[in-house]
Amino acid sequence: MSLGEFDLIATYFVRPAGTGPRRAAVGNGDDCAVLAPASGMHLAVSTDTLVEGRHFLSTVDPVRLGHKALAVNLSDLAACGAKPFGFTLALTLPRVDEAWLAGFARGLLDLADEHDCELVGGDTTAGPLAIGITVFGEVPAGGALLRSGARPGDDLWVSGHPGNARLALEAFRGTLHPSLSAEAFDACRLAMECPEPRVALGLGLRGLATAAIDVSDGLLGDLGHILRRSDVSADVFLDALPVSPWLAARAVSERQDGILAGGDDYELVFTAPAPHRAAVEALGAQLGTPLSRIGRIAPAAQPRVRLWEGGLDAPSEARGSAVANRWTSFDHFRSSPRETP
Ligand code: ADP
Ligand code: MG
């Protein structure tokens, strides 16, 4: 006999006493969760929804799906420099599949435990598979990293190796020629299905970065949000972009498409004053997170992003030639998913 709604919640999403993080004053199981952020802290709140066929393939491993559903939300907290506190889960299921639920709950709750983030409530309904999560994080009053803080002269940074997730997506679509080696496919698939949110980096960037955003829709597109909100422009240097070993093996245009417009990477793009450069580098080394300085913020101008062939520290007369920006970011209501012109 299949589980009813309340047994399902009790079995998979209510933790037995003494297991899992306990952060809320009143957690799961009442009409509301009651949250008590530490004194002097503000709550940072973000919601992300994953819909089958839109954000993930029906064949994805439920453990990875549970991980990713929370990871994309934690990534938003990371981009604000917020420390995860708790989350709610709105789950819409076509049927009760206990093997699927056990895997999904494991992927979700393992990542939650890793970040000391309590599942404080949710909602469970029947319908086409969709996962809505709202995360709550703590950030010192006035200390959140915002999109609006970039200033001319700031360095522009990106974490990790954006582009691998895009490579996996293209491999699934069968559009890569030549195709990926088995090793490259597994690594890129892991990047796409199981991203690690840059929470520790976001926390370390409090007081160092002036603006930050996580890369969900593509580096240039998401950078554009910082530039518009801060009313500045940016020079980005193609030779300074981090290239993963998997992308290094691809044709130049494919490599650039992946890094600049790939999306689904959940790396952080951030700006920091040049005098903080050594501190940012030290933070990357301490966390074991590659951080690449890829450009510089300049006063407002059109176009907002200028791409240069050359390296970042070349004198301005030796920047190399300007490169036309042919990359657009992903928009759910325009074009087909993740298509570049
Ligand atoms: P209500 O009818 O008061 O909105 P529900 O019957 O929807 O409450 O849920 C009962 C309890 O179980 C609530 O505390 C709710 O937060 C929790 N809950 C429901 N679905 C989930 C879920 N998918 N994950 C975690 N908690 C859930
Ligand atoms: Mg309800």
Kindly give the distance from the C-alpha atom of residue 125 to the centroid of ligand 1, in angstroms, as a whole number: 10
Buried (b) or exposed (e) across 54-89, using 16+ Cβ within 10 A? ebbeeebebbbbbbbbbbbbbbbbbbbbbbbbbbbb
Is the pTM higher than 0.85? The answer reads yes
Distances (CA, A) of 36 to 23, 140, 334: 8, 14, 40
The CB of 71 under 6 Å from ligand 1? The reply is no
The mean pLDDT value for 174-200 works out to: 94
Using the predicted structure, report yes or no on whether residue 337 has a pLDDT greater than 50.
no
Protein residue closest via CA to atom 14 of ligand 1: 29
Kindly give the distance from the C-alpha atom of residue 12 to the centroid of ligand 1, in angstroms, as a whole number: 12
Tokens of 61: 């491993």
The CB of 131 under 6 Å from ligand 1? The reply is no
Q: What is the pLDDT of residue 159?
A: 98
Using the predicted structure, report yes or no on whether residue 341 has a pLDDT greater than 80.
no
Q: What is the pLDDT of residue 321?
A: 77
Kindly give the distance from the C-alpha atom of residue 33 to the centroid of ligand 2, in angstroms, as a whole number: 12
245: how many CB neighbours lie within 10 A of its CB? Answer: 11
Distances (CA, A) of 281 to 52, 198, 213, 277, 285: 39, 15, 18, 6, 6
The CB of 291 under 6 Å from ligand 1? The reply is no
Protein residue closest via CA to atom 21 of ligand 1: 122
- The overall average pLDDT reported for the chain is 92
Interstrand relation of 305-308 and 232-237 (parallel, antiparallel or unpaired): parallel
Interstrand relation of 118-126 and 83-93 (parallel, antiparallel or unpaired): parallel
Using the predicted structure, report yes or no on whether residue 339 has a pLDDT greater than 80.
no
The CB of 13 under 6 Å from ligand 1? The reply is yes
Kindly give the distance from the C-alpha atom of residue 18 to the centroid of ligand 1, in angstroms, as a whole number: 20
Q: What is the pLDDT of residue 323?
A: 85
Which ligand sits closest to the CA of 121? 1
The CB of 32 under 6 Å from ligand 1? The reply is no
Using the predicted structure, report yes or no on whether residue 336 has a pLDDT greater than 70.
no
70-126 pLDDT tens trace: 999 999 999 999 999 999 999 999 999 999 999 999 999 999 999 999 999 999 999
Q: What is the pLDDT of residue 327?
A: 79
The CB of 97 under 6 Å from ligand 1? The reply is no
The CB of 91 under 6 Å from ligand 1? The reply is yes
Using the predicted structure, report yes or no on whether residue 43 has a pLDDT greater than 70.
yes
- Distance between CA atoms of residues 107 and 98, nearest Å: 14
The CB of 31 under 6 Å from ligand 1? The reply is yes
Task: Using pLDDT thresholds of 50, 70 and 90, give the confidence band for residue 328.
Answer: low
